[in-house]
Chains A and B, each alone.
Chain A
Amino acid sequence: MNSSPLTALAGYFALLSLFAVGGANAAIPEMHRVAVDVMHWMSDRQFADMFAIAQVSPGPNIIIVTLIGYHVAGFAGAAVATTAMCGPTCLMAFVVARTWDRFKDAPWRIAIQAGLVPLSLGLIAASAFVLARTADHNVYAGLITAATAAVAYFTRVNPLWMFVVAGVLGLSGWL
């Protein structure tokens, strides 16, 4: 029973989710370690390909756990891995959110909230910086980043158009 791949997926991702402060990108190295080195679910190359597929697909980046689950145990594996990764933390978020809203006007809540916002903004800026360092490996990629940032900040143009242009430029080998 304990050796069933579904049980292993459920246990592992439920545990990982509880330590995943900082979101999907912070948890990727640990997923790689377990999926490739510990459990031997897949090769290094297969993990890299799954990461690429998860990135190119829209939606939360955590969707890579769906692919890992699917690779290990088909549709059941996909469902189990995704539920284990999101279920416990969603329940926790729900409970905290209800409590949080109940104490809407409490001074301690206002102080915690005001204290967390600048940290949150600093961390989002840090992830943008780290992503830019890997994504902008040449001048053209850097120009696309700068142009998209400017268009998104100063205009109301739908950024999907920038994505289309950038994807076509990438496909044609400019980046």
Chain B
Amino acid sequence: MPQPAAPPAIRPSLAELFRAFVTMSVSGFGGVLPWARRTIVEHKRWMTTEEFNETFALSQFLPGPNVVNFSVVFGSRFGGAPGAAVALAGLMGPPLVIVIVLAILYARFGDIEALSRILAGITAAAVGLLIAVVAKMAAPMFLERWNSAPVFAIMAFTGVAIMNWPLPYVFLGLAPFSVALAWFKR
């Protein structure tokens, strides 16, 4: 039986894993990714910048919600099947309860105007937070010399954001070339 990935310096317990995913989930207004990186890379130091980028890229490549996939991949790496279950439960449990309570309150009181005004503010801030996280994640890639990676990042960005091409096509169209170049660069 081959061993799974070598355990990192600090290995979280199942309870810590659960608490960490609850924390990033309930903080994650307008997206969980910035909070996942903040908790895992900056606070707990369970992963390096590179490890986090790689794990998130894998989660993004798989079908299904990215952050949900990430919780399963991360949880299984640090705690096997129980770790995956615990991380997923921490990520999905609290928002499930919160969103249904909000739906019931909305059905009863229904002031969607006030809600959407608050939302307009939070969304503007959430976008800013996402921009900061992309900048942090991408900084090492742009600092390395003679490196083709930024070209692929810029092409993926242009295809989806500027040309409005469907995301799966852009991903599947660029991936073979990006992987091939990485293979020859080894």
Contacts and interface: CB of A to CB of B under 8 A. Distances in A.
A19 B102 CA distance: 29
Interface in B21-80: 25-34, 38, 42, 53-54, 56-69, 72-73, 76-77
Contact of A60 (B28, B54, B106, B168): B28
Nearest to B156: A122
A1 interface: no
Interface of A: 17-24, 26, 49-50, 52-63, 66-67, 70-71, 75, 78, 82, 85-86, 88-90, 92-94, 96-98, 100-102, 104, 107-108, 110-132, 134-136, 141-142, 144-153, 156, 159-160, 162-163, 165-171, 173-175
A29 to B, nearest CB: 11
Contacts of A62: 65, 68
B106 to A, nearest CB: 6
- Which DSSP category, helix, strand, loop or mixed, fits chain B's interface? helix
A63 B124 contact: no
Contacts of A24: 65
Given A89-B69, A90-B69, A123-B160, A149 B128 contact: yes
B149 A53 contact: no
B102 to A, nearest CB: 5
Contacts, number: 362
B96 interface: yes
A100 B102 contact: no
Contacts of A120: 53, 56-57, 60-61
A145 B125 CA distance: 5
A60 B121 CA distance: 19
9 contacts: A49-B112, A59-B25, A60-B32, A86-B68, A116-B58, A118-B153, A119-B175, A121-B153, A149-B132
Given A58-B29, A118-B178, A152-B133, A167 B54 contact: no
A159 B65 contact: no
Given A90-B88, A114-B182, A171-B121, A23 B141 contact: no
A56 B25 contact: no
B65 A23 contact: yes
A173 B118 CA distance: 9
Contacts of A86: 64-65, 68, 88, 92
A165 B122 CA distance: 9
A63 to B, nearest CB: 5
